[in-house]
Structure 1
Amino acid sequence: MEFEMQENVLTVKDYQKLRTSAGWSELPEQQIETALKNSLFTIAVKYQEQVVAMGRLVGDGCYICYIQDLVVLPEYQGKGIGKYIIERLVSYVREQGIPDTNITLGLFAAIGKEGFYQKQGFHIRPNDHRGAGMEIILPVHQDTGA
């Protein structure tokens, strides 16, 4: 199988399709458009003109970055695509870094996928040196002007 990797061309349609293939909720188009526009870097992997995988990087580009999305369609998993995406994202982060500094590259692994990321050099938190990753989901309400 010959795969083609494209950088910074991920579309709203392909992003939504890959999200739902992973069992994630659908998002409004405007939210996806803004998220993609504000991403540091995106990868779309194509096979026979169809996007079959993606990776998305967010952060400040010099101190903290996060792999926010990494999705490979189920029928294409186990072919090295995810590893290839991780390698390119890591390479991109290193390219952006300031010489003689460190960049923290974080992510939230889906349940059951931790081993994949450990094979790529990531460490589970909490550990002896770092606390647990945490999150809060904040609803955004339309301002009614009242």
Structure 2
Amino acid sequence: MKFEMLENVLTVKDYQKLRTSVGWSELPEQQIETALRNSLFTIAVKYQEQIVAMGRIVGDGCYICYVQDLVVLREYQGKGIGKCIIERLVSYVKEQGIPDTNITLGLFAATGKEGFYQKQGFHIRPSDNRGAGMEIIIPVRLW
């Protein structure tokens, strides 16, 4: 399978399509535009003139980064695309690093996808020296 990895050109339309293809909720276009603009790095994977996968990095770019929104359309899963995206995202983070320092690259794995990320070198939390990952969803309302 010959596919093309495009950097920093992910569109709102493709982002929304990939998101909803895996059962994630639709987001307002303005929210997606802002999220993509504020991302450190994005990947869009093109196959036969169609975007079939995406991934992005968010964070501060030198100490803490996160893999965000890694999605491969179901019919293209198991073909090595996700692995290629992760490899490029990790490579990008390494390129941004300050010499002789470490960068933490975190992520939230979808249920059942933990094994994929473990194969790419990620470790499950909690572990002996790291606590559980946590999150809070903050609703934004106009007053």
Q: TM-score range by the shorter chain?
A: over 0.9
Deviation at 1:2, TM superposition (A): 0.9
Structure 2 CA distance for aligned equivalents of residues 94 and 133 of structure 1? 23
For residue 26 of structure 2, give the secondary structure of its aligned residue in structure 1: coil
Q: State the TM-score, normalizing by the size of structure 1.
A: 0.95
Distance in 2 between the 1:45 and 1:74 partners? 14
Rounded to whole Å, the distance in 1 between the matches of 2:85 and 2:70 is: 8
Shift of 1:98: 0.1
Structure 1 segments, 4+ long, off by >6 Å, are none
Aligned match of 1:144: none
Provide, for residues 39-86 of structure 1, a one-character-per-residue CA deviation record: whole Å limited to 9, x for no partner.
000000000110000001100000000001100000000000000000
Larger Rg: 1
Q: Quick one: distance in 2 between partners of 1:46 and 1:68? A: 19
How high is the TM-score relative to the length of structure 2?
0.97
Cα deviation code 1:16-44 (max 9, x no counterpart): 00000111000000000000000000000
Aligned to 1:137: 137
Q: How many angstroms apart in 2 are the aligned matches of 1:104 and 1:40?
A: 15
Q: Give RMSD over aligned pairs.
A: 0.3
Equivalent pairs: percent with the same residue?
90
> What residue is the counterpart of 2:38 in the other structure?
38
Q: When the two structures are aligned, how many residues end up with a matched partner? A: 140
Unaligned 5+ runs, structure 2: none
- For 2:5 and 2:128, the matched residues in 1 are separated by 37
